[in-house]
Structure 1
Amino acid sequence: MPRTDAFPAPGAVEPAVELAGVSVRYGPAKQRVTAVEGVDLRIHAGEFVVLVGPSGCGKTTLLRVAAGFERPATGTALVRGGTPEPGRGAGVVFQQPRLFPWRTVGGNLGFALARHGVPRAERPARIAELLERVGLPGLAARRTWELSGGQQQRVAIARALAAEPELLLMDEPFAALDALTRERLQEEVRTLAARLGTTVLFVTHSAEEAVLLGSRVLVMAASPGRVVAELPVPLDRTATTDVAALRSSPEFAHLRGRLTEAMRRP
């Protein structure tokens, strides 16, 4: 079901992700560091929620909690009503592609498909479909080191989509890319998530990227990490497929300004 930017009524359906009073701490008792403290977060199916804030405010920590890589010291974390577990039900895309360099593009995708129980006979067709989705048709036989950085990140996104996850967790996936490639992938991810109805939790430092992608933006502050502001993004993205026109619209500029102001507050 395609995503829209209208929010579901509270309580209408079970949240795709729910964090209640979540705190995460690191280190021994006498030197314990609080990464995040008392965070409450509800993400409904089909939402594209963006976390923004300064380095060290706990954005990645919350994403890791949702992925099942971290356990809260206090509070509860639920994904579709159950305890999050690594590799189950969520696709994760990191800042770096983290592909297997000894495998081909198809081999990387095939490995992910095998892990999720896709029969060997079905994998070639699925690999071709995944590469088509991310704009890399016909590159299954290529080695990953032969690809550009942007192409490698597309393969990483395709790998995350291999299990057709209902939840996609993205940790600054475009931070290391050049501006042109970053803009292209921003549009591809936004369009892909809308078409598939995927729920997305996306981490970034950029106010512009947050407004461009998100249906809702949460602003975090550090010491300890916590959510301090929420900004709905009611842009009508169905009215135009022209990202340049969207970026230059008065509504976009207004929302970006509001978000930038919220990020600068103490």
Structure 2
Amino acid sequence: MPQAETATVHPPVVLEDVTVRYGRNARSLTTAVEGVSLALAEGEFTVLVGPSGCGKTTLLRVVAGFERTSEGTALVRGSAPVPGGGTGIVFQQPRLFPWRTVGGNIAFALARHGVPREQRAARTAQLLERVGLAGKAGRRTWELSGGQQQRVAIARALAGEPRLLLMDEPFAALDALTRERLQEEVRTLAAASGTTVLFVTHSAEEAVLLGTRVLVMAAPPGSPGRIVSELAVDLPRTPDTDPAALRATPEFARLRGELTATMREAATLDA
């Protein structure tokens, strides 16, 4: 009997020698990132950190399909990135539709992902419950606090049950208490669903708290951004882990200190 063919399993994200340039002609070209290579494993929570202007968001936009590479290859599960395409995206600002209700924002995303109309109300309620906003489907977005709006944005990003989630400093504009609450919610949701996450932040503490791997970027004067260091984060995290208790462990303090020192070194390259 002929042997059954084995399906090829592609990594969630592969970047090989990616360079991105901006400009209309050779004289005005600006190279944002150059020669960046990385691969994300299934279910991995990877964090990009580094000073402003080092290319973190550019790389995220390449993976999202919003930017094309000038050189090199970008693949999402073996294919060129396409906006949408099964990837969830959360930006620094919620970017909700103000003319739609909270539920309407999520229902719009569900419709985009082909969820039948008769199932959308139930799925919307499930998603809002997952992010701690049960019963708020009928509220207007401007009636919510900034943290609640960002929760809606996360729920909308999860509407298509993405296997890949991209997050660009999603908690930067929030107060400390709301930020900590959402950090834990995102970490728990990603771990429970096995979602692969690529997360951009400036915070060493946030990177260590959330990431299983942290990539540090830098961009020396007159040079494009690149990855200069990698830190593996191996902390005992489970769905029941108390974030406050985790922060208090010696290993967390050691990793945070090591990452902070590396980020300071990267910042001097930018000076």
TM range (shorter): over 0.9
CA contact 1:99–1:156 (8 Å) conserved in 2? yes
Aligned equivalents of 2:42, 2:63: Cα separation in 1 = 14
2:30 pairs with 1:26:
no
Describe the shift of the 1:234–1:13 C-alpha distance in structure 2 as closer, same or farther (beyond 3 A): farther
Counterparts in 2 of 1:123 and 1:240: CA distance versus 1, 3 Å:
closer
Does the Cα contact within 8 Å between 2:18 and 2:37 map onto a contact in 1?
yes
The residue type equivalent to 1:244 in the other structure is: A
CA distance in 1, matches of 2:113, 2:161: 10
Counterpart of 1:247 in structure 2: which amino acid?
A: R
Aligned to 1:143: 140
How big is the shift at 1:31? Answer: 1.4
Q: Cα 1:211–1:13, aligned 2, differ >3 Å: closer, same or farther?
A: farther
Alignment of 1:223-234 (within 5 A): 223-234=223-234
User: CA-to-partner distance for each residue in 1:175-231, whole Å, 9 max, x for gaps?
Assistant: 000000000000000000000000000000000000000000000001310000000
Q: Distance in 2 between matches of 1:91 and 1:109?
A: 13
Q: TM-score, normalised by structure 1?
A: 0.94
CA distance in 2, matches of 1:124, 1:183: 29
Question: How far did residue 14 of structure 1 move?
Answer: 2.8
Structure 1 counterpart of 2:140, one-letter code: R
Contact 1:240–1:246 (8 Å) recurs in 2: no
Aligned equivalents of 2:75, 2:82: Cα separation in 1: 10
State whether structure 2 residue 230 is matched by structure 1 residue 214.
no
For 1:258 and 1:15, the matched residues in 2 are separated by: 29
Q: Percent identity?
A: 77
Q: 2: CA distance between counterparts of 1:125 and 1:220? A: 42
Amino acid at match of 1:200: V
Q: Tell me by how many angstroms 1:238 deviates.
A: 2.1
Structure number with greater Rg is 2
So what's the TM-score if we normalise by structure 2?
0.92
The answer as to whether partners of 2:46 and 2:197 remain within 8 angstroms in 1 is yes
Contact 2:46 2:212 in 1 (8 A): yes
Aligned to 1:16: 12
* Matched residue, 2:68: 71
Q: Secondary structure at the match of 1:252?
A: helix
Q: Distance in 2 between matches of 1:30 and 1:62?
A: 23
Residue 236 of structure 1 aligns to a residue whose secondary structure is coil
Secondary structure at the aligned position of 1:245 is classed as: helix
Match among 111, 114, 117 for residue 114 of structure 1: 111
Deviation (angstroms), 1:91: 0.4
- The alignment's C-alpha RMSD in Å is 1.1
Q: Which runs of 5+ in 1 are unaligned?
A: 1-11
The answer for unaligned runs of 5 or more in structure 2 is: 1-7
Pairing 1:156–2:153 present: yes
One-letter amino acid of the structure 2 residue matched with residue 216 of structure 1: R
Following the alignment from structure 2 to structure 1, what is the Cα–Cα distance between the partners of residues 176 and 122? 32
Aligned pair count reads 255
Looking at structure 2, the residues matched to 138 and 107 of structure 1 have their Cα atoms a distance apart, in angstroms, of 13
Closer/same/farther in 2, CA of residues 198 and 113 from structure 1, 3 Å limit:
same
After the TM superposition, list the runs of 4 or more consecutive aligned residues in structure 1 that deviate by more than 6 angstroms.
none
Within the alignment, does 1:244 sit opposite 2:237 as a pair? no
